[in-house]
Chains A and B, each alone.
Chain A
Amino acid sequence: MLKASFINPFITAASDVLESECKTDASRGQMHMDSTRATSSEVTAIVGVTGDLQGIVLYGMSERTAKAVAAAMSDMQVPFFDTMAESAIAELGNMITGLATTGLESEGYQCQLTPPTMVTGRGVIISTIDIEHLVIPMKTKLGSVDINVALRQTNV
């Protein structure tokens, strides 16, 4: 069962990182639950979480948004979604999840990250999403970054 205390740190962290790294305000769209195991975005960064909470967090976006985010993060033109842009999106996921873990820590959950993995293309099955997850759309001027939080509490 996803609790608000799991979710709020990701909303705060995403807003902070998108503002500092991409120089854009971010506002939360309508959240919804999802139980599909396939990626629904063209570009997805996946970060694993271990510790008191276990699971994965996905950061999905269109390729167009991914290029815009990578360009904003690097202060360079990104005409193609190449390995450098891929690396930037992976780092975005790493930074948001890292920052969120400090919020989780203040809620009493000690968590660690695993290195980000990138998936390109819709419909790719993520076998480790075996729990219902919450989708948090973060709306920015660069496009929407959809955060899928699939975490469960361990030892309960």
Chain B
Amino acid sequence: MRILVVDDAAFVRARVSRLLSAEGHTVEEADNGATAVAKYPEFRPDVVLMDITMPVMNGIAAVRELMKIDSEANVIMCTALGQRAMVLEAIKAGAKDFIVKPFKNDRVIAAIDKLGKENG
């Protein structure tokens, strides 16, 4: 699958990208929501892993923008605990699932596989 990893933390992007590349996925990175929105039309990811708290454009605003581009976009929110209200807002905006940091590798892979299966 083609996966867009969106997080302002370089460490998180590198770690998740390494994990997903090792699983055979094609990965593109973005360091904020605006960059993700700009990359989406060309990269056409099957799944977007989206952080919530980011500079320039946060994850919730980015989900809203992505839904304007592709109402079927598969977005998984990645969040630190303590952001429950923001996760609910992102789900309302169109996100399909969420993963809580600290990440468990198998949870990341399972969430992506689940969305992949649901979308054939």
Interface residues of A, Cβ cutoff 8 Å to B: 17, 20-21, 70, 73-74, 83-85, 87-88, 90-91, 94-95, 97-102, 105, 111-115
Contacts and interface: CB of A to CB of B under 8 A. Distances in A.
A94 B101 contact: yes
Contact of B101 (A83, A88, A98): A98
Interface of B: 8-12, 14-15, 53-55, 80-83, 101-102, 104
B15 A74 contact: yes
A101 B84 CA distance: 11
Contacts of A98: 80-83, 101
Contacts of B12: 87, 91
Nearest to A112: B82
B11 A113 contact: no
B71 to A, nearest CB: 29
B109 to A, nearest CB: 16
Nearest to A49: B82
Contact of B14 (A20, A21, A84): A84
A19 to B, nearest CB: 10
B83 A112 contact: yes
A57 to B, nearest CB: 12
Given A17-B102, A98-B101, A115 B11 contact: no
Contacts of A74: 11, 14-15
B53 A101 contact: no
B22 to A, nearest CB: 11
A94 B80 contact: yes
A95 B82 CA distance: 10
Given A98-B101, A115-B53, A90 B80 contact: no
Contact of A91 (B9, B54, B55, B104): B9
Given A20-B102, A21-B102, A113-B53, A97 B10 contact: no
